[in-house]
Structure 1
Amino acid sequence: MEQQSAPEAPPTPAPSKGKGMWIGLIVVVIVIVVLLGAVFGGLLAPPATTVPQAVYHVGYPGDAIKYLPTVWTNRAQWTAKWFFSEGLRDQGFVDQLKAAGVNVSQIVGTAPTTSQDPAILASETIFNQNYTTRFGDRTVGLFASQAYDGIFVMALAFAKANTTDTSSAAWKQAMRDVSNPPGTVIRPTEWAKARAELAAGRDIDYVGASGAVNFDQFGEVGSDYEVWGVNSTGKIFQKQFIAEGSWLPAPRPAPAVGTRSDIGPHPMALPVKIGTILSMTGSLGLYGPDILNATILAQEEINNQGGIWGGQLTMVHDDDATNPTTGSTVASKQINTDQVNAILGSLASSVSQKIYEVAKPAGIAELSPASTSPIFTTLDTVDLFWRTAPSDALQGKAAALYAYRDAGWRKVSVFNINNAYGNGLGGVFASDFTSRGGQVLRSVSYEPDKTSYDSELGTLFTPVVARAPPARVSRPEDGVP
């Protein structure tokens, strides 16, 4: 048989040019889709959030007792530590929290405190002993010593100036003369000694129960501060001492220097009437009774030792209910009806501001033992507002120093009452804490005297989108790079 050759296979057709382009395009589309998915997937993912390590709380007991038990109940999700201002440093308030089931041993806060200078501690001891002897074995409340000093130093100024006109240059100068060095040191209860020195034409320097009481050009005093806590038995105690100036890049303005007394050998008997406007009720009602007692103690000591050149010191007492409108009303009553020569009050800065608006046109001096808002430093331009409590321009910095350096917090929120005190102190703290390199995640203010604060608490504890910390200003006192 004849062998036949196999037929040749037809040639494989070359891929068309158009088909190759489609394949390439599909590959490109797939790559783009993958890349876009990665990009938009990251953008659409929930952003990282953060919560505060601590909440700086500026407020009053009357409001705080309504919401802090709620915070404690929700502590599993609201994990921030609470850091209190001096407005909440009250044993009665701590007792209320404890009764409501709050673990008060976790509380920490700041407050003005007496200097560790032995000369000043001696004055504090004298006052505390006399206070408990007169009013029973009880803890001396916050700002009681400042109230005592306020009455005592105003009475000394009336004695030195030998006038009841608190708008006079003589009385204003006398306020600084009797409270600042140089001069013979006068301590609480030493009214007779002070009168003798003034009558002899010698300088005096009142060293008070609350501190040196050295008035500067703004009518303000400095202060050391404490970090306070609550021990295992529920009692307030001092955890840490912060010396005045340790938080400042520059010192407080120097106090004025007293001048030689110009009292003659036969001063005129001077009856003086001082009105007190204090919070016996309302959000600060827990503080009122102790502060009122301190003013009564000063009055009794002055009158029992001869009064003001033989004239008696009388007092008129009114309750402002921690309400600015009420404070304004009773100030008008005291000035126009009671004819007071000066006013000691109030506790809340917002109330003191309203009193000042009434007292200033009448030429009546107001001295607050507890109003700490920074606004008063520039508000009073006529030397008619004085205070024996330090400005929160100091406390805000002391609190920020502790929070950043000692507690080690880097992220905080601020929860403050919406008034002159809360906004002032909260603002100073936030500014100084930020300058140290910390972050203030939220600043939430609340209105006083509400029945519920659930909305404000919800805002306060809503997580915040994480962000880079601010640039840090080098602060040697922080002890960190």
Structure 2
Amino acid sequence: MRTGILARNAAVAAAALLVLTACGGGGEEGGGGGDAAGETGGGGERQVNVYGTDGNMGNALGESFTAQGSLAGMKGTTPLTELGGDFTDRLREIDPNLQDYNYAGETYDAVIVTALAAQAAGTNDANVFKEFINGMTVGGEACTDFAACLEIINNGGNVDYDGISGPLSFTDAGEPAEASFGILQFGEDNQLDEGATDYVLAGDSANATSDEGPAYAAAGTTGEPLVIGTLLPLTGNLAFLGPPEVAGARLAVNDINAAGGVLGQPVQLIEGDSGDASTDTATQTVDRLLQGGVNAIIGAASSGVSLTVIDRITGSGVVQFSPANTSDQFTDYNDNGLYFRTAPPDVLQARALSDLIINDGNNTVGIMALNDPYGTGLMENTRENLIAAGLAEDSIQTLTYDPQAANYDAEIQQMVDFAPDAVVVIGFEESARIIESLNSQGIGPQR
């Protein structure tokens, strides 16, 4: 049984459920609004809850809107743990202009785990240290930073790294068995209201691997330097995720090297742009990184981008470690045992998202998803979880869209005609145009 703060509510139609509307309230105090999702408020306007996910739940989305309240009350999920002030302060020392921290912790942890695995293996050869990666997250003696973990290794012990992004606890497939998700909400200023953020768990650490990996190399083993490349979105439709991820990688390398490095050498970092799936930027970057002799590549953020380069990376005997890939396709991908991720698969985010939707009292749900592995995978998993929670199949309408489309008039009209209690938008930067259209039809966050 999985754990979670948001319990699944089987009594979907319970009239006593508090309805959180897209404008952040359920009507005027004293019962002026409807008491079930989809009913009209005191002014006769139908209330629709709008939800997003990790691809669009960031402050960068708010910059696309000029009118106050365009996103007010829009809620959504993203893989996120409650980051400490010390960590975010140190990230801002790396990049004072950070707007969000999405996937910064996951990126930091991917670099740390890679470094610990190389030290434990006694080599920078990815085909050797890959066998140590899962074991860095389970069993052994708990530690929360590279220096403390390195001390355990040097004292002949086994490491269980509990990172910035959570306890990790990887499965045999090299991904978290359990993960923390942030339930985020936009305020009237179209920025995320940090005071409204809640955190929930999805998954079960009991599903983590029981294999702690091979015996560690002798303490203090030295060797050739560990070279880490990054394949992170500096351009393209996920560019808003780039700054926190880049800062996370740089901070991790700084911390590793301050503690003495790996194999007696400073870790080397070679940075690169992933672009998005509509360009060949990622392929060009991967070729450059491989030519530069990297042992591991951190990225990509986009599942679609990773699918274009995973064979190139793992086929070259290099570890690919993504901080943000969530598509379920990677769980069973034939990757020569060289692909890992600190981001949880969408089967877990879908549980957190569906719990949020159900507990907000929605009985009918429309889902608009980007037509790529991320969008379609999260859409289908969310739909399945909503049905398992008690919604009828015909009370859920799903559709996919082309992010490069000139407009989304046809898709928006489908939502208008369906008239759901809730609309879920699973996408990237193009979500702004979709939400503008939802607002113009009176079924968006703006009131």
Return the TM-score normalized by structure 2.
Answer: 0.77
In the other structure, the counterpart of 1:156 is: 116
- Alignment partners' CA distance in 2, 1:251 and 1:264: 30
What is the deviation of 1:259? 5.3
Per the TM alignment, residue 107 of structure 1 is displaced from its structure 2 partner at its CA by 0.7
Cα distance in 2, alignment partners of residues 294 and 275 from structure 1: 13
Q: Determine the C-alpha separation between the residues in 2 that align with 1:251 and 1:203.
A: 19
Q: Distance in 2 between matches of 1:95 and 1:293?
A: 21
What is the correspondence of 1:161-176 to structure 2 with a 5 Å cutoff?
Answer: 161-168=121-128, 171-176=129-134
Match for residue 376 of structure 2? 423
- CA–CA separation in structure 2 for the residues paired with 1:287 and 1:321: 11
Which whole-Å CA distance do the structure 2 matches of 1:251 and 1:204 have between them?
17
User: CA separation in 1, counterparts of 2:402 and 2:124?
Assistant: 39
Please point out which of 455, 461, 469 is paired with 2:410.
Answer: 455
State how 1:319-468 maps to structure 2 within 5 Å.
319-323=273-277, 325-335=280-290, 337-380=291-334, 382-404=336-358, 406-439=359-392, 440-463=395-418
Match of 2:73 among 106, 129, 143: 106
> By how many angstroms is 1:136 displaced?
3.1
- Which residue is equivalent to 2:242? 288
Tell me the distance in 2 between the aligned counterparts of 1:100 and 1:452. Answer: 20
Larger radius of gyration: 1
Give the C-alpha shift of residue 425 in structure 1. Answer: 0.3
Report the alpha carbon displacement of residue 385 of structure 1 after superposing the two structures with TM: 1.1
Which letter maps to 2:372?
N
Report the Cα distance in structure 1 between the residues aligned to 2:97 and 2:370, rounded to whole angstroms. 33
Give 5+ residue unaligned stretches, structure 2. 1-19, 23-43, 421-447
Q: Which amino acid aligns with 1:130?
A: R
Cα distance between partner residues in 2 of 1:84 and 1:173 = 36
Return the offset for 1:382.
2.9
Q: CA deviation at 1:290?
A: 1.6
Aligned-pair distance for 1:100? 4.6
Q: RMSD value over aligned CA atoms?
A: 2.7
SS of the aligned residue for 1:106 comes to coil
* Aligned structure 1 segments of 4 or more residues deviating by more than 6 angstroms: none
How far apart, CA to CA, are the structure 2 residues paired with 1:261 and 1:463? Answer: 58
Q: Output one character per residue of 1:150-177: Cα deviation in whole Å (capped at 9) or x when no partner.
A: 1111011111111222123xx1231122
Residues 268, 142 of structure 1: alpha-carbon distance in 2 compared, 3 angstrom cutoff: same
Gaps of 5+ in 1: 1-52, 56-75, 116-120, 466-481
Deviation at 1:407, TM superposition (A): 0.9
CA distance in structure 1 between the partners assigned to 2:371 and 2:97 by the alignment: 36
**Equivalence for 2:179:** 223
Match of 1:14 in 2: none
- Return the match for 2:50 from 66, 72, 82: 82
Q: Output one character per residue of 1:18-45: Cα deviation in whole Å (capped at 9) or x when no partner.
A: xxxxxxxxxxxxxxxxxxxxxxxxxxxx
Cα separation, 1, equivalents of 2:409 and 2:45: 15
Shift of the 285–78 alpha-carbon distance from structure 1 to 2, 3 Å rule, reads farther
Q: Does the CA-based 8 Å contact 1:199-1:263 persist in structure 2?
A: no
State the identity as a percent.
23
8 Å contact from structure 1 (residues 418, 446) kept in 2: yes
**Superposed CA offset, 1:422-463 (max 9, x none):** 000001001111222224442111112333222322233334
Q: Which has the higher helix share?
A: 1
1:271-329: CA deviation from partner (whole Å, max 9, x where unpaired): 11111111111111111012111111111221222211321211221112222633233
- Further displaced range: 257-266 or 431-440: 257-266
CA distance in 2, matches of 1:309, 1:251: 31
For 2:67 and 2:274, locate their aligned partners in 1 and report how far apart those are by CA, in whole Å.
28
Distance 1:132 1:156, change over 3 A: same
Q: Which has the higher contact order (CA 8 A, sep 6+)?
A: 2
Any residues of structure 2 matched to 1:160-239 within 5 Å, and which? 160-168=120-128, 171-183=129-141, 185-188=142-145, 190-191=146-147, 193-221=148-176, 222-236=178-192, 237=194, 238-239=196-197
1:266–1:317 CA distance, 2 compared to 1 (3 A):
closer
**2:223 matched residue in structure 1:** 269
Contact 1:272 1:313 in 2 (8 A): yes
- The amino acid of 2:62's aligned partner reads V
State the alpha-carbon separation in 2 of the partners of residues 464 and 407 from structure 1.
Answer: 17
| Paired position in structure 1 for 2:3 | none
Contact kept, 8 Å, 2:70 with 2:188, in 1: the verdict is no
Match status 1:145 vs 2:105:
yes
Residue 156 of structure 2 aligns to a residue whose secondary structure is coil
TM-score using structure 1 length = 0.72
Structure 2 residue aligned with 1:253: 207
Number of residue-to-residue matches in the alignment: 374
